[in-house]
Amino acid sequence: MRRHNVEIFSDYFAQRSNVLTAIDARVKLFFVLAVLVLVLVSKDLPILITVMFASLGALVMIGIPPKMVLARLAAPLFMAGVILLLQGLFFGETPIYTLEAMGLSVPLYREGIEKGILIAGRVLAGTSSIIFLSMTTPLHKILSALKFLRVSEEWLAVLAFAYRYIFVFIEEAQSIMDSQRLRLGYRGLLTGLRSWGTLVGSLFARVFDQAQATHDAMLLRGYNGAIYIERPQALRRSDLSAGILFSSLFLLLLTLDFYWR
Amino acid sequence: MSYLEVRDLVYVYEDGTRALDGINLSIDEREFIGLLASNGGGKTTLLKAVVGLFKARPGSILIDNKPLSKLKRIDLARAIGLVFQNPNDQLFASTVEEDVSFGPRNLGLTDAEVEERVETALEMVDMLAHRRKPIHHLSFGQQKRVCIAGVLAMRPRILLLDEPTAGLDPKSEANLLHILGRLNKEAGVTIVMATHMVDLIPLFVDRIFVLKEGRITIEGTPDTVFSSTQVMEEVDLRLPYITHLIEELKHKDQLPFDKLPLTLKDARSKLVSLMPDNIFSGSE
């Protein structure tokens, strides 16, 4: 359980050596940002589906187990489902199906479902392209690329800290939960809620302790308010070729979007 | 004059706990010092006071004959480094080399100097091959070694370590202690190691300070400190297992030992010297 949770967030696959991880982070970042803009403005479901399958398919092609890719997609998939349902329930005028439950009739509207499918498509296409980036690029390289884009160093430092300590706190939360579970802390609804509350409270306290300890350790190594983020290296010929390939793919998507519209 | 001098140091926590109660100690350069105490004895508080994280009053701390309170933080960082017990407290960067380079960059060194220091420090702790790895992909023992490298890269004259072997398996424990021994003997780094691990400490340290309830109760070479079970029990510790065995042989079986051996090597040679010669040639 613990291992699984950590692996979902881990950049283990981004650390491996393959054709996608070898590409400079700036090239991938530019491509993904461009795709995200396209996903936001596009109203064509086929484009969104293409982006999603291309992103996830590329990950499977470099040897990432489909299960792991799906595990990362699970949360956005759930969100997309909720959005689809809510849109269908609350927006539109033309009922296409009526849900009967406990003597109540709840209609689902065609217009809402159509809009919901589009939004869910955007959610899934957008998150898939971000999953593509995160599973092929270690965070420190993404930070370097963001530094190249002149993103504020303070933001980058916060991002770096969040990334470093998320694994520590997932493990910490899991240990507390395991210890509660072994002492029947989740036996019933009320007990479970109480245990959950204690877990969250303890975790907050540990976050503050950790912040203090880390700050102390940083001060002892001369911390002066700045966190160094590595400068990206010069682009290689292979990065330029990848850039050309990604640009062509993006232009193809734009063209298809224009024609399908 | 000692490089580090602590005089009449007192530290009282907000809840009234007197964690340090009149500590006096002096440490020379190139010494390997063991700070031995049971849990709650005041080891960590003393280390944190020495690096200025806890403001201990009354009392004074002199580093190279200068009061700690008069030192600029950057000069203090150059003089003395602390390796925390929990690697998560210290390792905050995404990768090994980023973390190790943090201190040297704060010293305002050039990229080339930073690179040289990172490489040397990682080499000293046998972690050079892992320099590009993310911190969370390292084992606990490797994280501990990166912590030491991060402090070594500052090139402090004294390295303080808070329970460096806590949580390590026996092999990693021995490995880490050998690295520390090498740093002390070959690189000339003064080392102060807080621990309650009595079995391996006599192999490496020159002197030991034993703390109990915030006071130094015994001080001296390992031979002096580990002179009898009774002395160790008074400070809630024990003798090294091998020393305890020899002490039992001496008192209960009247085997003639003049001095208690502290290491396996010493104990073996003493025992061998007491055995009849023909025992080694089988039935002859």
pLDDT of residue B120: 93
The more confident residue out of B8 and A183 is: B8
Which pLDDT belongs to residue A169? 87
Return the pLDDT at B53: 87
| Residue A10 and residue A86 in one domain | yes
- On whether the CB atoms of residues A256 and A43 are closer than 8 A, the answer is no
pLDDT tens figures, B13-37: 888 889 999 999 999 999 999 999 8
- Residues of chain B found within 8 Å of residue A163, distances taken between Cβ atoms: 94
A138 shares contact with chain B (CB less than 8 Å) = yes
User: Does residue B281 have a pLDDT over 70?
Assistant: no
B77 pLDDT higher than 60: yes
Of A63, A56, A28, nearest to A238 by C-alpha is A28
Element (H, E) at B83: strand B80-83
Nearest-CA distance from A139 to chain B in Å?
Answer: 8
Residues A29 and A1 grouped into a single domain: yes
Do A21 and A4 belong together in one domain? yes
> What pLDDT, on the 0 to 100 scale, is given for residue A3?
47
Residue A208 and residue A98 share a domain: no
Query: Does the pLDDT of residue A10 top 80, yes or no?
Result: no
* Contacts B84 to A, Cβ<8 Å: 213, 217
- The residues facing B192 across adjacent strands are B33, B160
A185 and A95 co-located in one domain: no
So what's the pLDDT on residue A2?
A: 47
Q: Is a pLDDT exceeding 60 seen at residue B161? A: yes
Average pLDDT over residues A117-123: 95
**Based on the domain organization, do A86 and A200 belong to the same domain?**
no
Tell whether the model's pLDDT for residue B200 goes beyond 90.
no
Model pLDDT for residues A84-102, shown as the tens digit of each residue? 999 999 988 888 888 887 8
Count other C-beta atoms under 10 Å from residue A160's C-beta: 20
- pLDDT, one tens digit per residue, over A11-41 is 788 888 899 999 999 999 999 999 999 999 9
Interchain proximity A217–B107, CB inside 8 Å:
no
Is the predicted pLDDT of residue A228 greater than 90, yes or no? Answer: no
Which residue, chain included where needed, has tokens 């809510």? A86
**B89/A216 touch (CB, cutoff 8 Å), yes or no:** yes
Whether A219 and A138 share a structural domain: no
Task: Assess contact for A48 and A122: CB atoms under 8 A.
Answer: yes
Better pLDDT: A171 or B160:
B160
> Is A182 in the same domain as A126?
no
Residue A9 has pLDDT above 70, yes or no: no
Reported pTM? 0.76
Q: What is the mean pLDDT of residues A152-169?
A: 88
Cross-sheet strand order for the sheet of B190-195: B80-83, B158-162, B190-195, B32-36, B207-212, B215-220
Whether A22 and A142 map to the same domain: the answer is: yes
Sheet (strand B4-12) strand order: B18-27, B4-12, B60-63, B66-67
**pLDDT band per the 50, 70, 90 thresholds, residue A8:** low
Mean pLDDT of all residues in B29-55: 90
pLDDT at A231 over 90: no
ipTM: 0.70
pLDDT, tens digit, for every residue of A184-210?
A: 888 888 888 999 999 999 898 889 888
Categorize the per-residue pLDDT at B278 as very low, low, confident or very high, splitting at 50, 70 and 90.
low
Choose, out of A170, A171, A220, A231, the residue to mutate when testing the contact with B (most B CBs < 10 Å): A220
Q: Are residues A202 and A217 in the same domain?
A: yes
- Tell me what pLDDT residue B30 has: 92
> Which whole number is the average pLDDT over B200-216?
90
Q: Which one, of B5, B151, B152, lies nearest residue B64 by Cα?
A: B5
Q: Chain A to chain B, count of Cβ pairs less than 8 Å apart?
A: 86
d(CA B19, CA B12): 6
Residues A16 and A124 in one domain: yes
Contact assignment for B91 to A230 by CB distance below 8 Å: no
User: What was the pLDDT predicted at A5?
Assistant: 53
Q: Are B84 and A217 an interchain contact pair (Cβ–Cβ within 8 Å)?
A: yes
Residue with the bigger pLDDT between A103 and A121: it is: A121
Assign B248 a pLDDT band (cuts: 50, 70, 90). Answer: confident
Check A213 against B151: CB less than 8 A apart.
no
Does position A109 have pLDDT exceeding 80, yes or no? Answer: yes
Q: What is the mean pLDDT of chain B?
A: 87
Domain identity same for A32 and A111: yes
Q: What pLDDT was estimated at residue B257? A: 80
Count up the domains in chain A and report the number.
Answer: 2
Q: Check whether A6 has a pLDDT greater than 60.
A: no
Q: What is the largest CA-CA distance in chain A?
A: 69
Domain that includes residue A217, residue range? 152-230
The tens digit of pLDDT for each residue in B132-141 reads 888 888 888 8
Is A140–B150 a contact, with Cβ atoms under 8 angstroms apart? no
| pLDDT (mean) for A167-195 | 85
